Every structure is written in C-alpha cells, then in structure tokens.
C-alpha cells in the first residue's frame, strides 16, 4: 500500500504540536520535514530545534529532506533531533557515497533526492547505501507548484533500477489525488503532500483521497 508523508511545511506553525498529533491520528505514515537553507534553494524553513520540540508528541518517522548546500555538516544535528530518515540531494554532495555512509553510520536510513533535471544514473553506484529515492516532481524551494509530468518516466526507470532491492521510491511536489494515481502507477511507494493534506482541515479525508 502506498505510504502518505504529509509535509509539515504546510502545517500551522503556531500550533505545530497539535498539527502533528492530528496528522498522526488522521492516518499519516510518516512526517516529511523540508529543511531549506536559503542557499541551495531560494527559501528558508526551520532547523533541528523545531524537530526536537515535536519529537515527543508523535511516533511517526521523521523523513528529513535536506535541501541545503552543505548537508554533511548538518547530518549529526538532525540525527540528534530525532530524524529517522535523512535524504540529501545528489546535486549538493560532491562525495555522495561518503555522505550516505555517514548517514547510515549514525543509525539512520539514507535517501537520495533528484531534481527534475537530474538523471537517475547518479544512483547507479550507491544503490547499496540507500533506503529510498526521492524524485522531485517540482523544482525544490517552494510549496504549491505544478507537477512536472516528465518525472513519471523517471519514476518508472528508477523502479526498474532498484528491482530486487529494499529501496522505496518517494515523490514530492504537486501531489494531489490525480497526480498521486499517476505516480503510484509509475512505481512510487511514498507520496509527499503538503497542500493536498492540510487544505480544508479534514486531514483524514485528504489522506484517504490520496491513498
């Protein structure tokens, strides 16, 4: 069954604890945490302190997506803050194999994210070190963007590439009930959604619609 990972970037940060508890109660499978540094992407979000503050209030895995210029210096910060999965951008890691090895040495699951213009071929030599691949179906940096259909073929190619391995394919960007169906048909296992989950306030209904 497809897993739903609501992005807390779309939550009400004035009542973040309540939002996290509500999302878990509504049936979310994990919590997607978009970390942006204002350098790798043109936006700034939050740091490990926010994660640490909500860690006691949910049993959901923290799926931490590092959209940052220098992820290596932040790995231990987010590990200590309660991350379960750390995903780094292939484009931001000059030594991707080493970065992934460091994530796993911290006892966490490791993921690689690919921007829309990045080929899946960069994964070929690190398949033994990853637990998931995050396909960006929008250009990273802001919520509410339109889905890029060309990424569906990339999802299918990655599905073939990871066949026989315990590697999940996650998609992030422009996910709604229609694009969710297209992504899962192409081979996606995890759907990240912000607006589609938090809009309107009926989180369970929204999650069920995506599933």
Other residues' Cβ atoms within 10 Å of the Cβ of residue 179 = 24
Phi and psi torsions of 31, nearest 5°: -115, 120
* Residue 117 CB partners (closer than 8 Å, separation 6+): none
Q: What share of the chain is helix, strand, coil (3-state, %, to 5)?
A: 45, 20, 35
Q: Is 61 a catalytic residue?
A: no
Q: Which two tokens stand for residue 22?
A: 């509500």
Catalytic residue among 34, 37, 63, 189: 34
Q: Is 34 a catalytic residue?
A: yes
Catalytic residue among 29, 37, 63, 172: 172
Catalytic residues: 34, 172
């Amino acid at each position: 069954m497809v897993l739903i990972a609501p992005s807390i970037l779309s939550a009400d940060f004035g009542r973040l604890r309540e939002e996290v508890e509500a999302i878990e109660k509504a049936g979310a499978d994990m919590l997607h945490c978009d970390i942006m540094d204002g350098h790798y992407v043109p936006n700034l979000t939050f740091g490990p302190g926010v994660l640490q503050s909500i860690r006691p209030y949910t049993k959901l895995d923290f799926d931490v997506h590092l959209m940052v210029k220098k992820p290596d210096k932040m790995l231990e910060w987010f590990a200590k803050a309660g991350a379960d999965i750390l995903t780094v951008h292939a484009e931001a890691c000059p030594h991707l194999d080493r970065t992934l090895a460091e994530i796993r040495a911290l006892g966490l699951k490791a993921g690689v994210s690919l921007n829309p213009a990045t080929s899946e071929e960069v994964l070929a030599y690190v398949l033994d070190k990853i637990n998931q691949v995050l396909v960006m179906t929008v250009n990273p940096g802001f919520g509410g963007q339109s889905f890029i259909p060309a990424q569906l073929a990339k999802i299918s190619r990655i599905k073939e590439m990871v066949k026989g391995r315990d590697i999940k394919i996650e998609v992030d960007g422009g996910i709604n009930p229609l694009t969710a169906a297209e992504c899962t048909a192409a081979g996606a296992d995890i759907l990240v959604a912000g607006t589609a989950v938090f809009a309107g306030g009926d989180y369970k209904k929204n999650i069920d619609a995506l599933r």
